[in-house]
Chains A and B, each alone.
Chain A
Amino acid sequence: MYRYVLRRLVQSAFLLLGISAMVFFVMRIAPGGPTAFTGDPRLGKVYLEQQRQEFGLDQPLPVQYGKWLWQALQGNFGRSYTDKRPVMTVIAERAPRTLLLSGLSLLFGLLGIVFGVFAALRRGGIYDNGLRILTVIGNAVPHWWLGLIILLISARTIKIFPLAPPTNGALLPWIHFLILPVLLGALGGWLGFSRFMRSEMLEVISQDYVRTARAKGLNESTVTFRHALRNALIPVVTILGGSLAGLFSGSILFENVFSYPGLGKLAVEAAFQRDLPVTMALVLISAALVIVGQLIADIAYGFVDPRVKLD
């Protein structure tokens, strides 16, 4: 077990190293180089050369990468071009909001497990078929567009939800505001987890040990919840880790639809202003968060399922 954890840790570190290298070199092959984003085209060659020296751009690429990585590891991604504050300060300010929104979305999204279990138990029934149709429709409709439509209804007819987050820190307006983005964020989880859970549950129900439990004369609810459900839940742990990347991608859209000032909104603002240090740091940090999430999920899997021989 410990060997497995250690191996996964090393793997994750290398993965992050690979991502950082990719992020760095992509940034450097940008047309015109990094100075194209800061330099004024009217400035002379001498000044550009001076600027290149100032940013250390005259050094060989591997050296630049080493220096950049060393700084990044210490949490120093330079200063934002627009904000002038250190990139990490800007990100740290926004991160809790995104974690709150994504966390709540994930938490409510887990209800999809319940939907899936019921669909499996009443397989072929009205509920199961209804859920299947809703899943196809739910996957076809972009969730952020659905958010726009609900906001549109709120703006034109009944004011169900506020169009923008409250300006003060009062708790109730914030809860009222968060309902819609959290529900839409959870929608992805409902669709994904319910389908996954349905097939897992159907698979487990047909296993021999479930038949044995029934044959022993146990009542149906004990069989379902004690024997089937507990085993069907195990693989959910694995897709939890995988759903993190999607959660972050989703947060970009929801944050912009609902003007929620988190990392997703920051990413769009920074990109519009061509604030490269912030953009690059966000790619790297969001990837790091996903990798850590995946790591935790994988290790948790080893603890939850004793059948898995991890090393």
Chain B
Amino acid sequence: MSGDVRAGANTPRLADARRPPPATPGYFRRVWRRLRQDRLAIMALVLLLAIVALALAAPLISEHLLHADPNRVRLTQKLKPPSAEHWLGTDEYGRDTAARLLYAGRVSLTFGFMVMAIDFSIGVVLGLIAGYFGGRVDDAINALIQIINNIPTIFLLIALAVIFSPSVIGLAFLFGVTGWTGIARQVRGRVFAERGLDYVDAARLAGASTSRILFMHILPNVSSVILVLIGFDIAGAILGEAALSYLGFGVQIPTPSWGNMLSNALATFSDTPWLVIAPGLAISLTLFAIYLFNDGLRDALDPRLNK
């Protein structure tokens, strides 16, 4: 009998099995140590950083390596296939595709980060509130989530883009306003499980304000869930931007983005394969790196998942 009790004290309770690991001191150091051993994830991270670095260094690379200005129109050079002078050929205005691809990368990647920031600002706050307070507040936030989730996103974004004809930042805002629901739901679910735990009661008894409890106590404990969502959210935004810009409602020319480069390529579609292939490959490679890294990150954050 007594042996059973002691065994029970050492094995984690059933309720704990589904809890994400708490953010104890040194937790993220351990995560990083595990991540470092995941060779595939590190390769993905290097690839991702390389893509970001290329986009950041776009002006330098275009000027010194490609000797091309992404916006310089040279009609004598239009629609040239890839060559030593133009590594990825030129477009219908004789602009260098490689230079434009780098600059488009800046736009598409920045767009992804902006949307992610907005998604998380809305999603985390509303998720925390819904999960912590429950009841009517939860119902109201859930109703909002349901409304947004039940409208096919691209239909909605096209309609909104037509009405507001937004700039890049405005477009990121539209994506953000319609894209936070998944994050809110995940956070809400986790907070729901956390709010009955002793440390929350302890904080409340110690006189912590509600916002302090939410952001200083609960948020760190659900952060492992949130971190995995960051990559997916950025990837989704980049993919969405590409789709919307391809259809003609996203980032508007002359600002290049990977999506609108594809859209512009359609006019001369079958004669200029490089204009169709290059932007799509850039998108695919970026998303591939993000997904692969995310996979490793998820395992590192919660090693129990990796059974």
Contact = CB atoms under 8 A, between A and B. Distances in A.
A and B form one complex:
yes
Interface of A: 14-15, 18-19, 22-23, 26-27, 30-31, 136-137, 139-142, 144-145, 148-149, 151-152, 155-156, 245-246, 248-249, 252-253, 256, 267-268, 271-272, 274, 276, 279-280, 282-283, 286-287, 290-291, 294
A30 B155 contact: no
Residue of A15, A155, A287 with most partner-chain B CB within 10 A: A287
Contacts of B160: 26
Contact of A268 (B153, B235, B247, B283): B247
Contacts of A139: 287, 291
Interface in B144-167: 146-147, 149-156, 158-164
Contact of B270 (A18, A26, A156): A156
A148 B146 CA distance: 33
Interface string B221-246: 00000000000000100010011001
A145 B283 contact: yes
Contact of B247 (A26, A252, A290): A252
Contacts of B287: 139-141
Given A248-B155, A253-B154, 16 more contacts: A15-B150, A26-B159, A140-B235, A140-B285, A140-B288, A142-B239, A145-B242, A145-B284, A148-B276, A148-B280, A245-B151, A252-B155, A267-B158, A274-B162, A276-B162, A287-B151
Contacts of B155: 248-249, 252, 267, 282-283, 286-287
B295 A136 contact: yes
B156 A148 contact: no
Interface of B: 143, 146-147, 149-156, 158-164, 235, 239, 242-243, 246-249, 262, 269-270, 273, 276-277, 280, 283-285, 287-288, 290-292, 295
B277 A137 contact: no
A141 B248 CA distance: 20
Best-buried of B149, B163, B164, B248 by chain A (most CB within 10 Å):
B163
A141 B239 CA distance: 9
A246 B291 CA distance: 19
Contact of B149 (A14, A152, A245, A282): A245
Nearest to B289: A140
Contact of B158 (A22, A151, A156, A279): A279
Contacts of B262: 145, 148
Closest 9 CB pairs of A and B: A155-B270, A140-B288, A140-B287, A248-B152, A145-B280, A30-B163, A249-B154, A287-B151, A249-B152
- Residue among A141, A145, A156, A287 with max Cβ neighbours from chain B (10 Å): A145
Interface of B is mostly: helix
A280 B146 CA distance: 19
21 contacts: A26-B163, A31-B163, A136-B291, A140-B290, A145-B280, A145-B284, A149-B280, A151-B269, A245-B152, A248-B152, A249-B153, A249-B155, A268-B249, A271-B158, A271-B159, A276-B162, A280-B159, A282-B159, A283-B151, A286-B151, A286-B155
Contacts of A144: 243, 246
Contacts of A149: 276-277, 280
A27 B262 CA distance: 30
Contact of B150 (A156, A271, A290): A290
Nearest to B285: A140
Contacts of B285: 140
Nearest to B270: A155
B288 to A, nearest CB: 4
Nearest to B154: A249
